[in-house]
Amino acid sequence: MTKFYEVKRRDGAARTGKLSVGENHVQTPLMLRVDTISKKKGELEVFNVENQNLDDLSSEEAWNAPRGAVILPEVHPMFTKVKEAIPSLFVDFSVLSFASAMLNSPRDFVRRIIDARNAIPPDVALWVPAIATAENATLMFYMGVDVIDDTNAVIKGCQGIYLMEDGEVRVSELDELPCNCHICASLSIDELKQKNNKERASLIAKHNTLVLDKEVKKARACIRAGNLREYVEMRVRSSPFLTAMLRILDSEEEAYFERRTPVARNRCMMANTMESLKRIEVKRFASRVLERYEPPARKILLILPCSARKPYSTSPSHTRFIDAIAGYRGQIHELILTSPLGVVPRELEAVYPAAFYDIPVTGYWDAEEREWVSSCLRAYLERKMKNYDVVVAHLTGAYREICASVAKDSGIEIAYTCEEDEGTTSKEALNRLKERIAGLCDDKQRLSGFKMKKSMIKAMADFQFGLGAGKQLLGKEERERGERLKINGKFPSYKLGSKGDVLARLVPAYGLLTLTVKGARRIENLLSSYKVEIGDFVPRGSILAPGVVNASEQIRVNDEVVFRGEKAFGVGRAKMSGWEMVESRKGMAVQVREVEEIE
């Protein structure tokens, strides 16, 4: 088993990890310094699999240093052979050779790194040598590169090229040193220019290395925090080459990132750029609303605008909407129109990312944003319109325009309760909403607190585990036999219980439902996509990858999973994707929350 590299945290394809080199434990993403890659025993050694005597690897001594393998570009005939050979070699890292050829085109850059990452096991570190700059390093980590080096930074220093976070400039063109590193703080630009060639090169190289190292640290912090994507969207703006790479990744490598993107996070997702619309989290949410959501049986569909505060129903505007329709809420299904998520049913307002996103609000929507949100609303109405008798929209501005164009395309009649350019929370608009709804309903029908909580838990269970899970968790049949369900807690921290046992909890910090063992047993037959089969042991605290016998492909980081082995049954949170649990030889696979021993 490899013992020199372990992935610790994941944020999309990016990871942080621990690489042990000799006595030192270093963190990845890592910048290796060319002047410290020595040949001394116990330090980093790279070997080419083609030249290795495989018998040597069985000796104890062979394991005293981390082992690496060279991955050749896909054009080389050895590429597929290496792909087969690597898993059996138990290497700790792989080096992508001829990386400089990737700099020819954004597509080559993307292709080679993704191919390399796909060719090696997930718990092997990927080193892309000699091409890193402060500008491109973060995007490489975003794609799954773990190790870079400062070769390029040092060479540029020798060429008199001064690296900055967002590009590079010749020192001869600078009037001032735009940096506070200890090199730049110790002398002026004139003093630097007056140094002899060798000294000047060395000083610029040191600055270049420091700038690159700072970028690596920044990327590591973002991965730990779970906001690397936001940083990448910001970072690629410095060059068309990098922006092109991100667009290629978003449009052509969706499957690669989908398999690696956490299902929930405990932080806000900021959608500040056009690329934010293409995020996996956005596409996943939109598709789950269509595939894993069944609206409650109510005859009026009311479309509302989103609010800055989340969950929406805690915002001042939604508090007023809810007040206006309170008497009839039992007959109304509320759907929130928003960018970039498209449509958010009220019952799903607390899930990730519906309760966890922020956008710049100016009233202006660009064409691509309109098209995306329209497509979400159109798809929703096409599938779910049969549930409703009538559609009311309390919208103005771009929201109303989007709604009107979708209604026209789909041949659906929509009643509007706001005049053009009237605020949705104005007294007149709210009165109109109230009157229109009253006119559509025969009698008053309030929505009881219990019913609202129940429909929220049902929708969230379906959304998380698949259609049917919610109904079974709430246990309609059993309740008819005298079981009384209880939902306690203050919105949205609900706790579902029955006969004194807790079945599930809504965890607002992640926008997820967590199950207890009792809750999991109730729906175990429906959890086949979230199942981890473990070995013959009772896990305490965590399940490590070697203890996993099999795991559902569908599982993503932070998914709620059930695990079962000969001796134990329990629930926990996935710390790696299901396919990764199967392919990895180390690292935490599941954080155990509750376990029951099987006699």
Instruction: List residues near Zn ion by CB under 5 A.
Output: 179, 181, 184, 207
Q: Which is nearer to Zn ion, 178 or 316 (CB)?
A: 178
Convert 12-25 to b/e letters by CB count within 10 Å (16 or more is b): bbbbbbbbebeeee
CA nearest to 281, candidates 363, 226, 241 = 226
Q: Which is nearer to Zn ion, 181 or 274 (CB)?
A: 181
Q: How far is the CB of 497 from Zn ion (least distance, A)?
A: 59
Phi, psi of 411 (to 5 degrees): 70, 35
Q: How far is the CB of 182 from Zn ion (least distance, A)?
A: 8
Q: Which is nearer to Zn ion, 207 or 292 (CB)?
A: 207
Q: How far is the CB of 141 from Zn ion (least distance, A)?
A: 22
> How is the beta sheet containing 342-345 ordered, strand by strand?
342-345, 332-338, 300-305, 390-393, 414-416
Q: Which is nearer to Zn ion, 184 or 574 (CB)?
A: 184
Confirm if 104 and 82 have CB atoms less than 8 A apart.
no
Q: How far is CA 351 from CA 134, 341, 344, in A?
A: 36, 12, 10
Q: How far is the CB of 199 from Zn ion (least distance, A)?
A: 15
Q: How far is CA 491 from CA 338, 447, 457, in A?
A: 22, 15, 12
Residue that has been written with the tokens 């949705």 in this structure? 424
Q: Which is nearer to Zn ion, 28 or 209 (CB)?
A: 209
How many residues does this entry show for the chain?
A: 599
- Whole-number Å distance between alpha carbons of 507 and 233: 29
Confirm if 573 and 591 have CB atoms less than 8 A apart.
yes
Residues 6+ apart with CB under 8 A from 214: 134, 165, 181
- Whole-number Å distance between alpha carbons of 225 and 339: 24
Q: How far is the CB of 29 from Zn ion (least distance, A)?
A: 21
Q: Which is nearer to Zn ion, 34 or 179 (CB)?
A: 179
Q: How far is the CB of 28 from Zn ion (least distance, A)?
A: 24
- Whole-number Å distance between alpha carbons of 132 and 113: 13
Q: How far is the CB of 27 from Zn ion (least distance, A)?
A: 23
Q: Which is nearer to Zn ion, 181 or 189 (CB)?
A: 181
Q: How far is the CB of 223 from Zn ion (least distance, A)?
A: 24
Q: Which is nearer to Zn ion, 184 or 418 (CB)?
A: 184
CA nearest to 398, candidates 437, 376, 371, 378 = 371
Q: How far is the CB of 323 from Zn ion (least distance, A)?
A: 58
Q: 301 has which bridge partners?
A: 333, 391
Structure tokens at 571: 């629930």
Q: DSSP character for 395?
A: -
Q: How far is the CB of 171 from Zn ion (least distance, A)?
A: 11
Q: How far is the CB of 181 from Zn ion (least distance, A)?
A: 3
Q: What is the DSSP string of 165-223?
A: TTEEEEGGG-SS----SHHHHHS-HHHHHHS-HHHHHHHHHHHHHHHHHHHHHHHHHHH
Q: Which is nearer to Zn ion, 169 or 308 (CB)?
A: 169
Q: Which is nearer to Zn ion, 207 or 220 (CB)?
A: 207
* CA 44 distance to own-chain centroid: 32
Q: Which is nearer to Zn ion, 207 or 434 (CB)?
A: 207
